[in-house]
Structure 1
Amino acid sequence: MESIKLVVLDMAGTTVADDGLVERAFAEAAAETLGTAAYEEQLAYVRATMGESKISVFRHLSGGDEALARRANAAFEAAYARLVDVGHCAPLPGAREVIERLRGEGRTVALTTGFARVTQDAILAALGWDDGLVDLALCPADAGGRGRPYPDMALTALLRTHAADGVGGIAVAGDTSYDMLSGRRAGAPVVAGVLTGAHGAEALRAAGATVVLDSVAQLPDAIAAYEAGP
């Protein structure tokens, strides 16, 4: 059994408090670009696909109209950035301490998101996490354009950092079913679902979580337990 050398952490809902920001930003984007006639149906889809690349979500909601999808995604990112700018952004309790502990244990830490790079950077700056806290921060565009549930961001983190000898040295943590699917498809032996975000324990387990935690604060101990074996 390979020890865990690379830990891939989701942002909103896992290490960063969401507090409804995604839904608020989506409401603004829908009103501006998609219209509100089917808003409740659209919102249900957004909730079900939390964790997916936002441009992919808007491609679905626009019925394949690429220009409309890009306008809607841009409106969403702008709305989310405005919410971050006025202070609606906070770390989940213990998140920074967890990252520091993981790195102190000799593990490499990557943060991943379904947001665009500009939004990810705004969140990191607002939290003061752009100070070298993590080894790597990735958005879907950094990994070929496909976000979750594809494994691309976790595998890109492995390729860029060379932190582990193979996928057996990766742990993935997130709050959505798509995070779990992404981790399992990447071959990570530790795929931790956390209950601080979009989806509950049943959905996380159904999507492949190897362990479900109350919060990311429990992740270091869960990794240690895995490494200790049965």
Structure 2
Amino acid sequence: MTHHPPVSLAVVDMAGTTVLDDGLVEEAATRAFAAAGVADDAHDRALRYVRDTMGQSKITVFRALFGSEEVAQRANAAFEEAYADLVAAGRCAPVPGAQEAVRSLREAGVAVAFTTGFAPVTRDAILSSLGWRDLADLALSPVDAGRGRPYPDMVLTAVLRLGVADVRAVAVTGDTASDMRCARSAGAGLAVGVLTGAHDRAALTEAGATHVIDSVRDLPALIASTGTDPASQE
């Protein structure tokens, strides 16, 4: 059995993992489609693609959908505006136990980095709405790292900024297949799927999850149970 160091950094997704989505992404995407001029008969297909690519950078999703940088940027701006309006209207709530889980991890000496496919302005609006601006050690969007999920950039940026010595000491947690692929491509010791968001156990496992838990509230216990070998249940 390969020895892995104990977890010293938890990289944790936001929407669907620590923040209840409650259909907000799809609502904002619908407004983005209107801005991009998506025809009624193409709406369902576009929305299905948004669901399938949950966790990825939204500008990347819109580029793939529309093939035009101008249209993608227009759609992305409309998406960010719509999501901000939904947050401002009080449609933003934490996953039960998420705040306590993050605090528990930090009290145990595990650094925590939030990651998201949203732009920084949306990310920060969510954190401010929840009173979470100081909850984690770091919060990253794709623009802060280079590329969004499923690329490993945000995980590796967190490793560098927080001074983690070994990427195998990282636990990446999220609700999408993109989160799991990101974890595996970064070389993280733990790729932890949660069942509070977009994708089910089968999709998370197929994408490379080493563990699947009901909720992020269970993450501190999982990390504690892995001791000095986070890969022991791979």
**Normalised-by-shorter TM-score class:** over 0.9
2:60 aligned with 1:56, yes or no? Answer: yes
Residue matched to 1:177: 177
Unaligned 5+ runs, structure 2: none
Q: Distance in 1 between matches of 2:9 and 2:188?
A: 10
- Pairs within 5 Å for 1:53-132: 53-63=57-67, 65-130=68-133, 132=134
Unaligned 5+ runs, structure 1: none
For residues 200-227 of structure 1, what are the alpha-carbon distances to aligned partners after superposition, in whole Å with 9 as ceiling and x for unaligned? 0000000000000000011111111222
Q: Distance in 2 between matches of 1:36 and 1:121?
A: 32
Residue matched to 1:154: 155
- Pairs within 5 Å for 1:1-40: 1-37=4-40, 38-40=42-44
CA drift at 1:228 = 5.3
For residues 187-208 of structure 1, what are the alpha-carbon distances to aligned partners after superposition, in whole Å with 9 as ceiling and x for unaligned? 0111100000000000000000
| Deviates most, 149-158 or 29-38 | 29-38
Q: Distance in 2 between matches of 1:34 and 1:112?
A: 30
Q: How many residues align?
A: 226
The letter of the residue matching 1:149 is: P
CA drift at 1:49 = 0.2
Q: Distance in 1 between matches of 2:188 and 2:15?
A: 21
Between the two proteins, what is the percent identity of the paired residues? 58
Q: Name the TM-score, length of structure 2 as normaliser.
A: 0.95
CA drift at 1:34 = 3.2
For residues 45-87 of structure 1, what are the alpha-carbon distances to aligned partners after superposition, in whole Å with 9 as ceiling and x for unaligned? 0000000000000001112x10110110000000000000000
